[in-house]
Structure 1
Amino acid sequence: MKSKTIRRWSFIHTWTSLICTAFLLMLALTGLPLIFHHEIDHLLGDAPELKQMPADTPHLGLQQLVRAAEAHRPGEVMQYFGWDEEDPNGVVAIMARTAGTEPNSSHTFMLDARTGEAVEMPSANGGLMMVMLRLHVDMFAGLPGKLLLAFMGILFVMAIVSGTVLYLPFMRRLEFGTVRQDKSTRLRWLDLHNLIGVVTLTWALVVGVTGVISACTDLIIAAWRNDSLGAMIEPYRGAPPLTQLAPASRLIDIAKAAAPDMQPDFIAFPGTRFSSEHHYAVFLKGSTHLTSHLLTPVLIDASTLQVTAIGERPWYMDAMGMSSPLHFGDYGGMPMKILWAVLDVLTIIVLISGLYLWLVRRKAAKPVAVEAEVAA
């Protein structure tokens, strides 16, 4: 590779790395506990626990659960119902003053599907894990924070690609994995920096790309609302507002009849950003690890309970659905979480060592510049 080309790639690698390093360190440090958020919630006592009851205890109807939720939070309206992944007897309810209230201002709690008893979820409403999540997702800055982190993710991917290009000629001179112990501290750290960077290359690219996608979630949902959802609710444009909702009791049966072999993931009530003013939207998922993150919406008229549309999934919604589990390693059990944590720690070492190498190089360059000025 020509020296001029190397200098260009070195410039790209240096400055993309430097600009995003502080943000990447924050993301790596907050992402580490988020990998184990279920386990930490249980350790801190923030995880909701339902009463022990016989296994064959029947569940209440969906409308009964709606009434139980409304009794628990009087003056608020239902936004979403979801099913807990860990406990089949748990139903997660999200409520707010209005159906259109933005997610960070809503209140999340769990209902015991057998009794309707409400159980609070501190970790979903401002606990330690929620603080970590907000820092990781938007730094408590909403959409501007998400877009800033998306830009930092793009710089991170550019730093990975440029670093790989620079490492290729380096590998021709030394065997893979070589750390020159007999050289200076700077060269030893350079070798470690390069080695760990190559070892974590694929993982870092996956996490970087999925992080950018996740940071653009609001924009992706807005595009889906304008495109796919807009087309599905077009016949209702200009329709008078609903004065009363039909009971939610049969929503799951209706949706499953319309889309067989799929399971409910969550229900969006009328007026939320995943539905319309005139529809319940039941989002169904597949039964495999892959399809469990790919959601198909079934729109049900909120007054007649007739299915009006079964939404096709745009590619960008599939990308969004797959990005979160890939980003946090949340699809392969504890072994995958441990692997993700180890790679996260190695990435922190790469980031810190890269910053150290730049500072040492900059410090060493100053005397040379001074000598050149004196000689001139």
Structure 2
Amino acid sequence: MSTPTLARPRTVTAPATGGGGRRLWFDLHSWIGLKLSLFMTFVCLTGTLATVSQEIDWLVFPEARVVPGAQHASWGDMTAAVQRAYPDWTLESLSAPHASRFAARAVMRLPEGGRRFVWVDPYNGRVTGDTTWFNAQRILRNTHRHLMLPLKIGVPLVSALSLPLLLTLVSSLYIYKRWWRGFFSRPRADRPRRLWGDVHRLAGVWSLWFIALIALTGGWYLVESLGGGAGPAADIALPTPAVVTAPADAAAIDQAVADIAQRWPQLRIRGLHDVSARSLLLDGQAQAWLVRDRANAVGYDLQARGVTGQRDGRDMGIHQRIAEMADPLHFGTFGGWPVRWLWCVAGALLTTLCATGVHLYGLRVTDALRSAARRRGGADALPGNTWRQAWTGMARWRWIWVPLLCVWVWLLLAALRAA
């Protein structure tokens, strides 16, 4: 989440003195964009990277990379391969590949209590290796969601940015007259302030839909963090405890997948959970739109060869559906890689808005100081650079965000050492 700071429209060089309301919106817009800029830019940047965090892990870890093949290994074969390769570890879940060149990923519990990822080639069923649990996806998720702070503190702190985000969206529409004409306006490069103002507005108008979306979903996260969440979905009873050490039978798992495909042909299985020799839970995507995989789930008794329970996203109430929609809309996980990369580009535009808004403030101050110096006859006296002026303009707010980000660095280093 981030807060854009749309600059004044190109037809106005200063807020109109006769329009007190417009000047008020401009002052509010500038105040939010400057005072909260350090925190907002950081949250915006981490959110942008979080949309492609699995791709980052794919680049970092060769274990996650595979070459597409003509055949596909079954869920049972992949499960058996993981349990054979790491017999002393407990399989908690197995997820389908993120894309065609990604390995399937298993979450394994170590005897001492930690977790690691185990990767298996979905085409030949061979284990490619294991990697740390604390990868790029986990780092970016925990950072963007709650700054690695305790959840009761970090989640409300980050999600509260949805309120100033919404204010900057509304104020920008008041400030930028006839904003709908700006989608194809070419930035003018005759002066730095005009150039960056035009870039700021251009990025802003193309981001309006995304700003509204992030503000709404971020607002929902704030409601959830303050106790207004929909609560967990109904549990599906399994005949054995959720986590056991006995390995599952590959043929029994494949039989379960085939049986469920007949009972619920629309279900596209994306993961296995609570896998044991007696039972397992399968989830994925079906008829319900904009829900997480866990909204559609089936419990299966491997020994009795029967379904123990089913959860269908279409049966959820309005409150629960809103909760399910938030993540797919916020991170763009509902439409494959084209949507994820569109969200990444839109997030980059929000980061640009934060940075250019601060730069514009510095340019305004620099221009004002230069004009004052010329009026005093000191035309050769140049003020400090624009970023220094912006840093000074943040005043005491910078001493709130800088220590907070230092705490995040300390928590990150501690987590990396523990991993």
Same fold (TM over 0.5): yes
Conserved? CA contact 1:83–1:92, under 8 Å: yes
Partner of 1:200: 207
- Listed as ranges, the matches of 1:1-376 within 5 Å are 3-18=19-34, 20-37=36-53, 40-46=56-62, 48-50=64-66, 55-56=70-71, 59=73, 62=76, 65-87=78-100, 90-97=103-110, 106-112=115-121, 117-120=126-129, 122=131, 125-128=133-136, 130-141=138-149, 143=151, 144-168=153-177, 177=185, 186=193, 189-210=196-217, 223-225=230-232, 228-229=233-234, 249=253, 250-269=255-274, 280-286=280-286, 295-301=295-301, 304-313=304-313, 314=316, 315=318, 318-319=321-322, 323-324=326-327, 326-329=329-332, 339-359=342-362
Contact residue 231 and residue 320 of structure 2 kept, 8 A = yes
The answer (yes or no) to whether the contact 1:91–1:111 under 8 Å persists in 2 is yes
The two structures, once aligned, show a CA RMSD in angstroms of 4.9
The residue that corresponds to 1:373 in the other structure is none
Aligned mates of 1:138, 1:22 — CA distance in 2: 16
Number of aligned residue pairs: 343
Q: Deviations over 1:230-252 (max 9, x none)?
A: 5x65xx9xx99689888552332
Equivalent residue of 1:194, what SS?
helix
Distance, in Å, in 1 between the alignment partners of 2:349 and 2:337 is 18
2: distance between equivalents of 1:5 and 1:89?
Answer: 53
Measured after TM superposition, the shift of residue 120 of structure 1 is: 2.9
CA contact (8 A) 1:263 1:286 kept: yes
Aligned partners of 2:180 and 2:268: how far apart in 1? Answer: 53
Partner-residue secondary structure (3-state), 2:296: strand
Q: Give the conservation status (yes or no) of the 8 Å contact 1:10–1:162.
A: yes
Structure 1 residues without counterparts, runs of 5 or longer: 272-277, 369-376
Shift of 1:173: 12
Give the deviation of 1:229 after TM superposition.
Answer: 0.9
Change (3 A) 1:171 1:132: closer
- Which secondary structure state, in structure 2, belongs to the residue aligned with residue 135 of structure 1? helix
- Could you tell me how far 1:197 is from its partner in structure 2? 1.5
Q: Judge conservation of contact 2:183–2:206 (CA < 8 Å) in 1.
A: no
Q: Is the 8 A contact 2:299 2:308 kept in 1?
A: yes
Query: 2:65–2:102: 8 Å Cα contact kept in structure 1?
Result: no
Shift of 1:269: 0.9
Greater RCO (CA < 8 Å, at least 6 residues apart): 2
Using the alignment, how far apart are the partners of 1:207 and 1:167 within structure 2?
A: 21
**In structure 2, what is the Cα distance between the partners aligned to 1:181 and 1:360?**
14
Cα deviation, residue 186, structure 1: 4.4
Deviation at 1:21, TM superposition (A): 2.4
Structure 1 CA distance, aligned partners of 2:291 and 2:37? 35
Q: Partner letter of residue 134 of structure 2?
A: G
Deviation at 1:166, TM superposition (A): 2.7
Sequence identity (%): 20
Superposed CA offset, 1:37-62 (max 9, x none): 45544544535245887x457x4662
Task: Measure the CA separation in 1 of the matches of 2:304 and 2:338.
Answer: 47
The aligned amino acid for 1:108 is F
Amino acid at match of 1:203: F
TM-score normalised according to structure 2 size: 0.61
Question: Does the C-alpha gap of structure 1 residues 270 and 196 become closer, same or farther in structure 2, counting only changes over 3 Å?
Answer: same
- Cα distance, 1:136 vs. partner? 3.0
